A and B are shown apart, each in its own frame.
Chain A
Amino acid sequence: MNSQLLIQTTANAIAASGMYALIAVGLTLAFGVMQMANLAHGHFFMVSAYTVYALYALAGWPFWWAVVAAVVVGGVLGLIVERAIFRPLQGDVVSGFIATMGLMFVFEVLVGEIWGWGLSKPIPSPYMHAVSFMGASVAFQRVLLIPFAVVSIGGLMFFMRYFRLGRALRAVAQDPEAAALQGININKMTALALSIAGAYAGLAGGLMSTIYAVTPSLGGHLILPALIVVVVGGMGSIGGATLAAVIFGFVITFVSTLVDGVTAVMVSVTVMAIVLAIKPQGLMGRVIA
């Protein structure tokens, strides 16, 4: 591995870390609040990527407006899933997680029927140039994700700590009954948590849509790494998910580059098993969930 490849892979790994963090933060937030285990989370990403495809590549909207629309679409999907699936199944972790597995099928078929199966959708990148850095060149589109990830995850942490609504979310996460006694509307909190989750997946999907091969099965490919990140980070811990996203962003990118994608998944699963055997609650989780 020469230094040019090393720098390039490192840059890709940082971008991948940002993407995993954006996906995993929402997943872990939804789980922390009322144990909503959403397996269709990767499909929020996929549907948002298709939103950018439809609005930007087909309808000719400006790229950034399409990304904003993708964020909105992700948030609305989160709201719908909360209302239609998690609220009726309140608190039943197994049922919620099996039902959202069924939802994966539904999303995939809907998107496949609307936009076609088979080959991935070509989405031209609005920024064709690459950033040169110490002899390596990295696509600007990838670099772009990093400030977004940092700002939005930092923003979420700030929101959870210093805003009334954020503190209410944490209260529900700690003890739903006690939170309800304080006058916090739990249904509103679960809706808020899942729409934030959806919007973050939407942001990642919108920004990465020009890099990834956008197919109906994209969500299914992304969900396993995202779930591993959440479990290793510690269920419900935003900081833990971010830390684990960085770890797996590097592990997956480097192993994919040096060996292949299949091996990357195998290595990350092994890392997960080792972490769980030593620390069942994950790196930064407080309780075994």
Chain B
Amino acid sequence: MTLRVGIVGGGSFGRGLATAAARAGNDVVLWSRSARGGETAGFRTTDALGEVARAELLFVAVPSPHVREVARALGAHLDGAHLLVHVSRGLIGDELRSITRVLREETPVVRLGALAGPLVAEALAAGTPSGAVVGTLFPEVGAAVRQAIGGETLRIYTTDDVAGVEVGSALVGMLALATGFAMGIGSGPAALAVLCTRGLAEAQRVGARLGARERTFSGLAGFGDLVSAVAGDERPEIRLGRALAQGASLDEAARAAGAYIEGVSIARRVTRFAEGAGVEAPIAAATAAVVDGVLSPRDAMRSLMARQATPE
């Protein structure tokens, strides 16, 4: 039985999802503000939210700062029967509110999920082997995502630790940016390994304050996603970090990366949140300082290395 799948957001990730879902034989419609209608790569496009709301499973694939606005408009067409999954790598505001929470606040949908992991637009579109994890309390949401995009080349795992998936995915974005800096200043594999390992430990500490379980960070949404970024999956965060390390301004670097980068603003917000919650987050603080031009990437790395080492 084919599934009606709706994609909200016409960026590269949204198009990748639509291509993958269409390839799996589903009935797919993609909404974007600038859609002209018609059919490409096996799916229809539309600029009417009411059209996309006819689907049973909806993916929200817009950058996190736009989620609330899009969800509000979309919410007017939804009811309790919809399944809503977002792929936004981000946390909102200074209290690091999760995207599922925002979706709940703006739409009547309760069966929500977050899709994360080492899944990039190119792999989705091309169907190269990859994997992802759905964080949801509802097994039927995981099953629907599996039916929509899972298959021979894409393994979809599930977990009920929604907070873990959302925090993991957002903070890996930030760590990828930091790793990009480190690569840009010529750090060796061992330095990158220390940065990534301690970065994940930091993400776990922050996550615990937001209701996440530690072990989720060793899964695809945390460890898996970070390995993929470091192994060179052409992630925009890495490109941005490298460009900044080579002396580009934030604007130039963002242009070079060619995508919205959540990591830029989240580093500042995680730093503030961690201070308020009494959690140590030195890597977030150093990343924020580099992004804001307070420290050079080299000085930031030096300040991290100079910290007192404690039992792991």
* A, B: real partners: no
Q: Which residues in B have some Cβ–Cβ distance to A below 8 Å?
A: none
Q: Which residues in A have some Cβ–Cβ distance to B below 8 Å?
A: none
